[in-house]
């Protein structure tokens, strides 16, 4: 079959799937529809380093994204730390992200002006730029909107929440973070140690821009170092930033290896109570080798989360803020 015919058949299949989902959905009067912007979906990692076709298999498949009314996702550019400091690996995962952006639902269907699901790019862990911090400007020019300086272990850039020393930013890390801000990106404090969070906070405050924690939950409920304590949640909110609740079971539940949709609701309720409804978003971590809660196995379950929040007394306006409005405010238009 030719590439043109194959693409045509794929487009028709996507249209058919979307129509079937729309037909099966409850009426608007029975169950309002809430679009979602997810601040952290690890599709490029799966494509580049796991050799998968993540829109066809995994958690955030095309069908699941459409079923969950996902209007936008942030695609992180992440290079596993075992590969060391190799800028070529960052270039490779960027190519994988661009290839994903060319597919449904991230590319417009024939005859449509905009895609069903918009995309932004982030940098998750900047150790590949350790020796050349000023190169971050070129990555921002290529579309990177959010920069996470730190990842899951201590590095020459600073301390990780799950590292050993858990120190703050090093001079090299602070230089890279300043360069990212000067280039127009926002900083991401997820994965940063408390001390590094505080350094990122001060840099963002000095620049007068929001600080983000794209995929972290509430430490007061689940005492994991990857989560944020209440003091830092309030400080982040004061910058105009947002925290995207992470669905990974160990971050939302004290029960070993198991979490439920109810646990995520509890974290969202706490985050809103502490940081305010304008400072909370979704940062699922789908396809990031995470263990999803029972009842939130994929983006297709976002409507179930919305119903649970409405049942807990949330207004439709609050659900919309947390599901998409707050994320769009800090991200700005896709690039």
- CATH number, domain of 297, equals 3.20.20.140
Residue 14 counted as domain residue = no
Residue 15 counted as domain residue = no
Residue 7 counted as domain residue = no
Residue 124 counted as domain residue = yes
Residue 190 counted as domain residue = yes
Give the Cα separation of 229 and 155 in Å (integer): 23
Residue 275 counted as domain residue = yes
- The torsion angles phi and psi of 74, rounded to 5 degrees, stand at -95, 125
pTM of the model: 0.91
Domain that holds residue 282: 33-331
Residue 280 gets the label, from left (phi > 0), alpha (psi -120 to 50) or beta, of: beta
pLDDT 10s per residue in the chain (335 long)? Answer: 333 333 333 343 444 444 444 434 444 346 899 999 999 999 999 999 999 999 999 999 999 999 999 999 999 999 998 888 889 999 999 999 999 999 999 999 999 989 999 999 999 999 999 989 989 999 999 999 999 999 999 999 999 999 998 899 999 999 999 999 999 999 999 999 999 999 999 999 999 999 999 999 999 999 999 999 999 999 999 999 999 999 999 999 999 879 999 999 999 999 999 999 999 999 999 999 999 999 999 999 999 999 999 999 999 999 999 999 999 999 999 98
- Number of folded domains in the chain? 1
Residue 262 counted as domain residue = yes
Residue 18 counted as domain residue = no
């Amino acid at each position: 079959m030719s590439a043109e015919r194959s693409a045509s058949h794929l487009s028709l299949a996507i249209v058919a799937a979307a129509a079937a989902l729309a037909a099966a959905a409850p009426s608007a009067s029975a169950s309002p529809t809430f679009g979602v912007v997810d601040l952290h979906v690890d599709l490029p990692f799966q494509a580049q380093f796991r050799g998968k076709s993540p829109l066809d298999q995994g958690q955030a498949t095309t069908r699941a994204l459409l079923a969950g009314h996902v209007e936008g996702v942030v695609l992180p550019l992440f290079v596993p730390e075992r590969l060391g400091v190799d800028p070529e690996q960052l270039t490779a995962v960027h190519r994988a992200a661009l290839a994903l952006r060319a597919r449904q639902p991230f590319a417009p269907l024939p005859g449509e002006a905009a895609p069903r699901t918009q995309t932004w790019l982030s940098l998750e862990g900047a150790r590949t730029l350790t020796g050349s911090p000023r190169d971050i400007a070129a990555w921002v020019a290529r579309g990177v909107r959010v920069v996470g300086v730190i990842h899951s272990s201590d590095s020459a850039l600073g301390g990780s929440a799950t590292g050993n020393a858990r120190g703050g930013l090093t001079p090299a890390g602070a230089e890279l973070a300043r360069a990212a801000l000067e280039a127009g990106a926002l900083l991401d404090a997820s994965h940063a140690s408390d001390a590094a969070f505080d350094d990122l906070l001060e840099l963002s405050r000095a620049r007068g821009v929001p600080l983000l924690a794209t995929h972290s939950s509430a430490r007061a409920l689940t005492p994991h170092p990857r989560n944020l304590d209440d003091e830092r949640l309030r400080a982040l909110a004061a910058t105009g930033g947002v925290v995207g609740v992470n669905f990974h079971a160990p971050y939302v539940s004290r029960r070993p290896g198991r979490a439920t949709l109810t646990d995520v609701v509890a974290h969202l309720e706490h985050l809103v109570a502490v940081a305010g409804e304008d400072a909370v978003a979704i940062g699922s971590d789908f396809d990031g080798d995470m263990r999803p809660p029972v009842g939130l196995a994929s983006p297709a379950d976002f409507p179930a989360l919305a119903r649970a929040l409405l049942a807990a007394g949330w207004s439709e306006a609050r659900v919309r803020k947390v599901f998409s409005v707050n994320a769009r405010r800090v991200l700005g238009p896709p690039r």
